[in-house]
Amino acid sequence: NAGVTQTPKFQVLKTGQSMTLQCAQDMNHNSMYWYRQDPGMGLRLIYYSASEGTTDKGEVPNGYNVSRLNKREFSLRLESAAPSQTSVYFCASSEERPDTQYFGPGTRLTVL
Amino acid sequence: AQSVSQHNHHVILSEAASLELGCNYSYGGTVNLFWYVQYPGQHLQLLLKYFSGDPLVKGIKGFEAEFIKSKFSFNLRKPSVQWSDTAEYFCAIYGSSNTGKLIFGQGTTLQVKP
């Protein structure tokens, strides 16, 4: 039982490049989330998915897209990376809302 | 709009000292409250949560928090900290009308000196 896994762990991009962050959970949770963590700002919700087939915007969705591929997987895509997207990205899942969210190990992204 | 404020950004304590980390929120309706912890190099994990009932909530590793509705507060306490409590602590709320959105505070970094 791996919990929530994320790939990659680290990534460096140049401005304008695109990439997809992958997230998977093996706890059969309905809800999944993407956050970004920036110093002094805590975690901010980018997008979430209450259930398979649905996605909704969070606090800071601009510049991102998501796909809930199936119940297990929830990916985050940066179409044209900007330096302002340099951050640590966390994926999380929960059985329902509200409930305890279980977090992945994070992806540290640097955009040059 | 909902918000969470953690007053202390960086706290330094010696081992065996008592800890209290402040958390205040802004929301007029029913809330669910959480404290998460992020140990160095690890991912966030739940310390404790409050949904309803006894406002004094006990969590893992000897932590507790008290929900004071009149003060919109959910402060985290531990009577005697250990070096292993060095971590970043996040308070978070989920408002009843806030579909799917867990709002986090800015975080408090706790450094415990041996």
- In degrees and rounded to multiples of 5, residue A60 shows phi and psi of -130, 65
Residue A98, preceding peptide bond in cis (omega within 30° of 0): yes
Determine the residue among B44, B47, B89 to mutate to test chain A binding: the one whose Cβ has the most chain A Cβ atoms within 10 Å.
B44
Average pLDDT, chain B: 92
- The pLDDT of residue B91: 96
- What's residue A2's pLDDT? 77
- Amino acid B98: pLDDT: 59
Q: Is the Cβ pair A42, B32 closer than 8 Å?
A: no
Start-to-end CA distance of chain B, whole Å, equals: 41
Whether residue A88 lies within 8 A of chain B, CB to CB, comes out as no
Report pLDDT for B100: 59
B14 pLDDT higher than 70:
yes
Spatial separation of the C-alpha atoms in residues A50 and A32, rounded to whole Å:
7
Q: What is the mean pLDDT of residues B43-54?
A: 93
Model confidence at B29, in pLDDT bands (50, 70, 90)? confident
- From first to last of its 112 residues, chain A has per-residue pLDDT tens of 679 999 999 999 999 999 999 999 999 999 999 999 998 888 999 999 988 889 999 989 999 999 998 999 999 999 999 999 999 999 999 987 677 899 999 999 999 9
Q: Kindly determine whether residue B43 and residue A97, on different chains, have CB atoms separated by under 8 Å.
A: no
Cβ contacts (< 8 Å) between A105 and chain B: which residues? 42-43
For A5, the 3-state DSSP assignment is strand
Q: In this structure, what token pair is assigned to residue B53?
A: 């009932």
